[in-house]
Amino acid sequence: KNQVEQSPQSLIILEGKNCTLQCNYTVSPFSNLRWYKQDTGRGPVSLTIMTFSENTKSNGRYTATLDADTKQSSLHITASQLSDSASYICVVPNAGNMLTFGGGTRLMVKP
């Protein structure tokens, strides 16, 4: 069973709308959680990193939240743009300090 699970698997929204992507993890012990954006045909790019003590962190129109008690994180995208179309991947290091990736949410923003 994957230790990092994301939902939904895919999502289509209209330009200008907001959306929220979910990540549940079972990786333990917890050190940090990252959200990556991966454009088609490109490598992932880090959007934000959340540590145990952080509940919310924003990066422009992206806001990540973390609930370490329930082991859940979300990524909220505000006022979506066409360029937001990409896969969004949740990443948590495992006990061996190697990154464990979720399967990603494929977001498509339509005009």
Partner 1 sequence: GAGVSQSPRYKVAKRGQDVALRCDPISGHVSLFWYQQALGQGPEFLTYFQNEAQLDKSGLPSDRFFAERPEGSVSTLKIQRTQQEDSAVYLCASSLTSGSPGETQYFGPGTRLLVL
Tokens of 80: 């979506």
The number of residues that bind partner 1 (CB under 8 A) is 24
Please list, in sequence order, all residues whose beta carbon lies within 8 angstroms of the beta carbon of residue 43, skipping any fewer than 6 positions away: none
Tokens of 29: 């012990």
Q: Confirm or reject binding of residue 13 to partner 1 (CB under 8 A).
A: no
Token look-up 């498509």 returns 108
Residue 54 CB coordination number (10 Å): 15
Q: Confirm or reject binding of residue 81 to partner 1 (CB under 8 A).
A: no
CB of 3 to partner 1, least distance (A): 11
Q: Confirm or reject binding of residue 49 to partner 1 (CB under 8 A).
A: yes
Q: How far apart are CA 111 and CA 103, in angstroms?
A: 26
List 26, 28, 45, 67, residue binding partner 1 (CB under 8 A)? 45
List 32, 55, 58, 59, residue binding partner 1 (CB under 8 A)? 32
Q: Which residues bind partner 1 (CB under 8 A)?
A: 4, 31-32, 41-46, 49, 51, 89, 91, 93, 96-104, 106
